[in-house]
């Protein structure tokens, strides 16, 4: 009792009180689902039927022989390989363009950031019409210069690229803001010193600015990779995995298994949980590798 | 970009699951409520449909102070997902609207009320429901739902476009060749106008637009014992080739990947003909349209019906009995008539369909709706009601879409889908 009273007046208690709301949220929406998912991944279980059966590693071994899981994995890698470099290079370019004293620069910065705070659904509806094969603005403009028409989301070979374009547009603002902040942290005297030493603007960028952006780049690479591997909303709303499963990415496949097909007699929720856990491990390993690599090549200003 | 939706779904599901543990076994308890009860009631109606339903609910609530109904809107397309979450929480709604195709999945749900005995009660008048609706409500000899809404597919065409092209309107003797020729004649690439539109999202919607062609041509989805795929028969291939011929060779089809722009395009005169149901008619205020039954193979003009269900969950304390009393009232002839006149929903009780005065009044509400009502007589077959059907449907949907995109020929596409469907059937039965 005494100890409890001492705890109540200690700094610990105040600290716990402050973080309690977020701890509860993290436990409820983070820790419990993670543990539950792990348990589920060793069971043959549906979500509607209360029947559960322990099957050991069977759900995990099943993944290797599932062509749809392989297709989803290939699609996810393809998407990530396009999305991460494109979004980082594009945002670096835009951040650089916005990091100067020009008229209305605040307006431009705002304009670049607006897509980030726009709902995915609104973005999706807009791009569906922009990229419509027959009535879209994109095809109309491309037609003016003699290109197309492209099917975009409707064409199996183009749907993923269209999805990359849409998501890059949607997330560019976030990356740009990070780079902009990093660019403004680059000491002006270093740039001036390089200029005095006769460095061109190009080499001053690559020799001075780019290394100073290292921490920001590492953050963005890690962040973009994780979110690219977890792509879901846009696929769910815009392409529904189609056409012909060409945009069926891992998380979307997990959703379909667990919440659309695995509800009743086929009991696929456990299998879906196993795939989700494999994805989790892949992301974990990849992120650790990126940080390990990052420590070796990234320059941190002292 | 995030997995937020997934995490929240999962979290809500299991949070609720962690909190409760009582599972009532799902048969009507026979007990009656000891006092006034309030029942939760999920439906997916909006606009005029919701107004009509709410008017009926107000009437019920005024007349039955002991059983009050509390409606909650739940999008039909996600009703099964939402119910899954509620079931994990041990607190399903007392009554919920569900697609008929979800019944096999729901059969395993704790608390789902088996209605077989209830349908024997005289005041339910079960035999008065049209046969197709009763069959769709039945899974493994148990009645698990009460028909809530029945649709069917027919041709809706733009009269002005037919006049402008100098074509005769569709009639009830049309073959699919006539349909294909008309679609080609109505297509004008310069105007971005198409003769026909097809749902290309590879969902069940892509599949059930194909089923009538398959059946008319003498094919079937599965073998009689539901053990093997049968849609890749020569009849099935020929049926799909009608669609691929239009989509790939004639390019007369608007390939609607999203399965939603087609209503707006038809209403702006960009599409000549649709194969659709009565639910779309109110979306075409700007078009002078006509409705005709489906074209046929060899004079067979059968169509397909998509019945949706009211399902009841037993939350104890006599609530299930109260829910059944309400559902019996809601689906009785008088309420069905009132709702049909207000919304254009097709009546599906024989006593209502055979009421000539009513049918005339009904036909005057929304142009063409009477054709759909009569078209219910052309429903001869139902899709298989079994647990592996979602997989069969997905395989077929992908086959139809890949063939119509010209990725595979009809035979290969259907053979591939049949192999996949057979795997699912072997697994899930």
Pairing of strands A52-54, B305-312: unpaired
The strand pairing partners of B38, in sequence order, are: B68
> Tokens at residue B328, please?
């019996």
User: How far, rounded to the nearest angstrom, does the alpha carbon of residue B35 sit from its chain's CA centroid?
Assistant: 37
Please judge whether A265 and B104 are an interchain contact, meaning their C-beta atoms are less than 8 angstroms apart. Answer: yes
Of A48, A135, A255, nearest to B84 by CB-CB distance is A48
Residue by residue, DSSP assigns B332-385 as SHHHHHHHHHHH-PPP-BHHHHT-HHHHHHHHTTSTTHHHHHHHGGGB------
Of B8, B13, B257, nearest to A153 by CB-CB distance is B257
Mutation target to probe the B interface, by most B beta carbons within 10 A, among A155, A170, A259, A269 is A259
> Tokens at residue B209, please?
């637009």
User: How far, rounded to the nearest angstrom, does the alpha carbon of residue A158 sit from its chain's CA centroid?
Assistant: 20
Q: Looking at B191-262, which runs of residues are DSSP E strands?
A: 194-199, 253-256
Please judge whether B390 and A260 are an interchain contact, meaning their C-beta atoms are less than 8 angstroms apart. Answer: yes
Give A224 to chain B, closest Cα distance, Å: 10
DSSP one-letter code for B210: T
Pairing of strands B271-276, B194-199: parallel
Residue B288 pLDDT exceeds 60: yes
> pLDDT tens across B355-388, in order?
889 988 988 888 888 899 889 888 888 888 887 8
Residue B420 pLDDT exceeds 50: yes
Contact assessment for residue B347 and residue B340, using Cβ atoms and an 8 Å cutoff: yes
Across B15-24, B136-145, B152-161, B256-265, least confident range: B15-24
What residues of chain B lie within 8 A of the CB of A153, using their CB?
257
What residues of chain A lie within 8 A of the CB of B23, using their CB?
50
Residue B52 pLDDT exceeds 70: yes
> Which stretches within B111-189 are classed as H helix?
131-136, 159-164, 176-186
pLDDT for A263 equals 60
Residue A195 pLDDT exceeds 90: no
pLDDT band at A148, cuts 50/70/90?
confident
pLDDT for B1 equals 45
Residue A226 pLDDT exceeds 60: yes
Q: Which of B50, B338, B260, B289 is nearest to B154 (CA)?
A: B289
What residues of chain B lie within 8 A of the CB of A251, using their CB?
3, 6
Q: Which of B105, B96, B151 is nearest to B310 (CA)?
A: B96
User: How far, rounded to the nearest angstrom, does the alpha carbon of residue B364 sit from its chain's CA centroid?
Assistant: 24
Share of chain B above pLDDT 90, in %: 56
Nearest CA in chain B to A263: B105
Using the Cβ of B406 and the Cβ atoms of chain A, whether some distance falls under 8 Å is answered with: no
pLDDT band at A266, cuts 50/70/90?
low
Of A37, A170, A242, nearest to B10 by CB-CB distance is A37
Please judge whether B14 and A236 are an interchain contact, meaning their C-beta atoms are less than 8 angstroms apart. Answer: no
Please judge whether A233 and B2 are an interchain contact, meaning their C-beta atoms are less than 8 angstroms apart. Answer: yes
pLDDT band at B182, cuts 50/70/90?
very high
Residue B105: its H or E element: helix B103-106
The strand pairing partners of B196, in sequence order, are: B253, B273
Give B244 to chain A, closest Cα distance, Å: 16
With a CB cutoff of 8 Å and minimum separation 6, the contacts of B360 are: none
Across A238-242, B184-188, B263-267, least confident range: A238-242
Please judge whether B407 and A231 are an interchain contact, meaning their C-beta atoms are less than 8 angstroms apart. Answer: no
Using the Cβ of B405 and the Cβ atoms of chain A, whether some distance falls under 8 Å is answered with: yes
Higher-pLDDT residue of B373, B31: B373
Instruction: Phi first, then psi: give them for residue B18, nearest 5 degrees.
Output: -75, -20
With a CB cutoff of 8 Å and minimum separation 6, the contacts of B93 are: B40, B41, B42, B72, B83, B86, B313
Please judge whether B258 and A233 are an interchain contact, meaning their C-beta atoms are less than 8 angstroms apart. Answer: no
Instruction: Phi first, then psi: give them for residue B291, nearest 5 degrees.
Output: -125, 135
pLDDT for A92 equals 94
Distance CA B293, CA A28 (A): 54
Q: How many CA atoms lie within 13 A of A129 on its CB side?
A: 8
Please judge whether B106 and A264 are an interchain contact, meaning their C-beta atoms are less than 8 angstroms apart. Answer: yes
Residue by residue, DSSP assigns chain A as -HHHHHHHHSHHHHHHHHHHHHHHHHIIIIIHHHHHHHHHTTEEE-SSS--EEE-TTHHHHHHHT-HHHHHHHHHHHHHHHHHHHHHHHHHHHHHHHHSS--TTHHHHHHHHHHHHHS-HHHHHHHHHHHT-TTT-HHHHHHHHTT-----GGGSTTTHHHHHHHHHHHHHHHHHHHHHHHHHHTS-HHHHHHHHHTT--HHHHIIIIIHHHTHHHHHHHHHHHHHHHHT--HHIIIIITT-STTTT--HHHHHHIIIIIISSSTT--HHHHHHHHHHHHHHHHHHHHHHHHHHHHHPPPP-
Distance CA A76, CA A286 (A): 14
Find the helix packing angle between B333-343 and B47-63, rounded to 10°: 150
Distance CA A254, CA A234 (A): 15
Tell me the whole-structure pTM to 2 decimals.
Answer: 0.81
Distance CA A242, CA B257 (A): 8
Of A48, A233, A242, nearest to B257 by CB-CB distance is A242
Four-CA torsion A22, A24, A25, A26, nearest 10 degrees: 80
Please judge whether B398 and A245 are an interchain contact, meaning their C-beta atoms are less than 8 angstroms apart. Answer: yes
Residue B350 region, left (φ>0) first, then alpha (ψ -120 to 50), else beta? Answer: alpha
Of A49, A134, A243, nearest to B108 by CB-CB distance is A49
Cis check: omega of the bond before A149, within 30 degrees of 0 = yes
Please name the residues between 258 and 277 in chain B that touch chain A, using a CB distance below 8 Å: 258, 261
pLDDT for B428 equals 62
> pLDDT tens across B106-127, in order?
888 888 999 999 999 988 999 9
Residue B426 pLDDT exceeds 70: yes
The strand pairing partners of B275, in sequence order, are: B155
Please judge whether A33 and B11 are an interchain contact, meaning their C-beta atoms are less than 8 angstroms apart. Answer: yes
Using the Cβ of B429 and the Cβ atoms of chain A, whether some distance falls under 8 Å is answered with: yes
Across A43-52, A174-183, B221-230, least confident range: A43-52
What residues of chain B lie within 8 A of the CB of A134, using their CB?
192, 254
Average pLDDT over every residue of B205-216 = 95
- Residue linked to tokens 């569906």: A128
Residue A244 region, left (φ>0) first, then alpha (ψ -120 to 50), else beta? Answer: left
Residue B312: its H or E element: strand B305-312
Using the Cβ of B131 and the Cβ atoms of chain A, whether some distance falls under 8 Å is answered with: no
Please judge whether B84 and A263 are an interchain contact, meaning their C-beta atoms are less than 8 angstroms apart. Answer: yes
pLDDT band at A203, cuts 50/70/90?
confident
Distance CA B114, CA B104 (A): 13
Distance CA A39, CA B142 (A): 33
Please name the residues between 379 and 398 in chain B that touch chain A, using a CB distance below 8 Å: 387-388, 390-391, 394, 398
Distance CA B277, CA B373 (A): 10
Please judge whether B202 and A266 are an interchain contact, meaning their C-beta atoms are less than 8 angstroms apart. Answer: no
Judged by DSSP in three states, B143 sits in strand
Residue B26 pLDDT exceeds 50: no
pLDDT for B30 equals 56
Average pLDDT over every residue of A188-206 = 87
Of B5, B14, B401, nearest to A232 by CB-CB distance is B5
What residues of chain B lie within 8 A of the CB of A163, using their CB?
none
What residues of chain A lie within 8 A of the CB of B3, using their CB?
230, 232, 251
What residues of chain A lie within 8 A of the CB of B200, using their CB?
154, 242-243
Contact assessment for residue B16 and residue B46, using Cβ atoms and an 8 Å cutoff: no
Judged by DSSP in three states, B277 sits in coil
Please judge whether A259 and B81 are an interchain contact, meaning their C-beta atoms are less than 8 angstroms apart. Answer: yes
Averaged pLDDT of chain A: 88
Instruction: Phi first, then psi: give them for residue B87, nearest 5 degrees.
Output: -65, -40
pLDDT for B25 equals 42
Of B255, B257, B387, nearest to A265 by CB-CB distance is B387
Q: Which of B75, B77, B113 is nearest to B95 (CA)?
A: B113
Q: How many CA atoms lie within 13 A of B6 on its CB side?
A: 25
Residue B429: its H or E element: none
ipTM value of the model? 0.74
- Torsion sign (Cα): A63, A65, A68, A72: positive
The total of other beta-carbon atoms located within 10 Å of residue B51's CB is 13
Q: Which of B94, B37, B41 is nearest to B71 (CA)?
A: B41
What residues of chain B lie within 8 A of the CB of A254, using their CB?
6
Please name the residues between 181 and 200 in chain B that touch chain A, using a CB distance below 8 Å: 192, 200
pLDDT for B328 equals 94
pLDDT band at A126, cuts 50/70/90?
very high
Instruction: Phi first, then psi: give them for residue B119, nearest 5 degrees.
Output: -65, -15
Q: Which of B348, B261, B341, B352 is nearest to B308 (CA)?
A: B348
Mutation target to probe the B interface, by most B beta carbons within 10 A, among A155, A163, A243, A255 is A243
Contact assessment for residue B292 and residue B157, using Cβ atoms and an 8 Å cutoff: yes
Give B405 to chain A, closest Cα distance, Å: 8
Please judge whether B1 and A245 are an interchain contact, meaning their C-beta atoms are less than 8 angstroms apart. Answer: no
Give A300 to chain B, closest Cα distance, Å: 29
Average pLDDT over every residue of B270-289 = 91
Distance CA B70, CA A48 (A): 24
Averaged pLDDT of chain B: 88
Q: Which of B258, B269, B79 is nearest to B192 (CA)?
A: B269
Using the Cβ of B87 and the Cβ atoms of chain A, whether some distance falls under 8 Å is answered with: yes
């Amino acid at each position: 009792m005494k100890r409890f009273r001492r705890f109540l007046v200690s700094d610990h208690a105040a600290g716990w009180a402050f973080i309690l709301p977020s701890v509860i949220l993290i436990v409820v929406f983070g820790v419990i689902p993670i543990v539950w998912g792990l348990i589920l991944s060793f069971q043959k279980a549906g979500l509607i039927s209360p029947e559960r059966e322990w099957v050991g590693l069977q759900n995990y071994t099943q993944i290797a022989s599932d062509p749809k899981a392989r297709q989803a994995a290939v699609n996810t890698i393809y998407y990530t390989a396009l999305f991460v470099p494109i979004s980082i290079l594009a945002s670096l370019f835009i951040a650089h363009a916005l990091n100067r004293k020009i008229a209305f620069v605040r307006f431009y910065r705002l304009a670049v950031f607006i897509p980030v705070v726009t709902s995915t659904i609104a973005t999706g509806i807009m791009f569906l019409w922009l990229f419509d094969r027959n009535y879209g603005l994109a095809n109309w403009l491309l037609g003016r210069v003699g290109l197309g028409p492209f099917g975009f989301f409707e064409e199996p070979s183009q749907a993923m690229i269209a999805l990359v374009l849409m998501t890059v547009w949607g997330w560019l603002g976030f990356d740009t803001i990070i780079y902009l902040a990093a660019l403004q942290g680059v000491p002006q005297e270093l740039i001036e010193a390089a200029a005095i030493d006769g460095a061109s603007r190009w080499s001053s960028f690559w020799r001075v600015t780019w290394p100073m952006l290292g921490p920001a780049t590492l953050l963005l690479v890690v962040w973009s990779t994780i979110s690219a591997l977890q792509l879901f909303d846009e696929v769910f709303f815009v392409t529904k995995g189609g056409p012909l499963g060409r945009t069926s990415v891992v998380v979307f496949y997990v959703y379909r298994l667990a919440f659309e097909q695995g509800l009743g007699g086929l009991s696929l929720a456990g299998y879906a949980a196993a795939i989700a856990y494999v994805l989790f491990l892949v992301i974990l390993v990849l992120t650790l590798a990126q940080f390990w690599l990052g420590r070796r090549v990234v320059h941190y200003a002292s | 970009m995030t997995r937020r939706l997934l995490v929240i779904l999962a979290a809500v599901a299991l949070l609720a699951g962690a909190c409760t543990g009582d599972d009532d076994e799902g048969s009507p308890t026979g007990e009656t409520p000891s006092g006034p009860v309030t029942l939760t009631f999920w439906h997916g109606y909006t606009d005029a449909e919701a107004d009509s339903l709410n008017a009926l609910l107000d009437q019920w609530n005024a007349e039955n102070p002991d059983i009050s109904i509390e409606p909650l809107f739940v999008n039909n397309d996600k009703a099964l997902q939402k119910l899954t979450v509620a079931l994990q929480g041990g607190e399903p709604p007392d009554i919920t609207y569900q697609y008929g195709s979800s019944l096999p999945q729901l059969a395993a749900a704790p608390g789902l009320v088996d209605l077989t005995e209830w349908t024997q009660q005289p005041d339910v008048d079960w035999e008065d429901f049209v046969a197709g609706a009763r069959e769709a409500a039945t899974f493994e000899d148990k009645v698990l739902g009460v028909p809530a809404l029945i649709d069917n597919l027919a041709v809706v065409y733009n009269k002005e476009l037919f006049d402008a092209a100098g074509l005769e309107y569709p009639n009830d003797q049309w073959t699919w060749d006539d349909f294909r020729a008309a679609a080609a004649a109505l297509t004008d690439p310069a105007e971005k106008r198409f003769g026909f539109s097809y749902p290309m999202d590879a969902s069940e919607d892509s599949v059930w637009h194909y089923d009538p062609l398959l059946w008319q041509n003498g094919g079937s989805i599965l073998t009689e014992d539901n053990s093997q795929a049968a849609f890749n028969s020569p009849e099935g291939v020929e049926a799909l080739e009608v669609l691929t011929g239009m989509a790939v060779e004639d390019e007369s089809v608007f390939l609607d990947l999203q399965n939603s722009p087609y209503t707006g395009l038809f209403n702006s005169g960009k599409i000549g003909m649709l194969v659709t149901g009565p639910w779309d008619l109110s979306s075409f205020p700007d078009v002078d349209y006509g409705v005709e039954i489906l074209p046929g193979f060899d004079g067979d003009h059968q169509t397909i019906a998509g019945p949706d269900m009211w399902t009841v969950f037993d939350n104890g304390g006599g609530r299930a009995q109260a829910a059944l009393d309400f559902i019996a009232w809601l689906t009785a002839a008088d309420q069905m008539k009132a709702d049909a006149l207000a919304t254009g929903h097709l009546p599906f009780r024989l006593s209502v369909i055979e009421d000539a005065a009513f049918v005339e009044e009904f036909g005057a509400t929304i142009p063409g709706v009477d054709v759909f009502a009569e078209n219910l007589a052309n429903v001869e077959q139902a899709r298989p009601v079994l647990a592996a059907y979602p997989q069969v449907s997905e395989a077929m949907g992908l086959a139809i879409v890949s063939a119509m995109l010209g990725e595979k020929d009809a035979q290969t596409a259907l053979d591939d889908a049949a192999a996949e469907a057979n795997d699912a059937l072997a697994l899930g039965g």
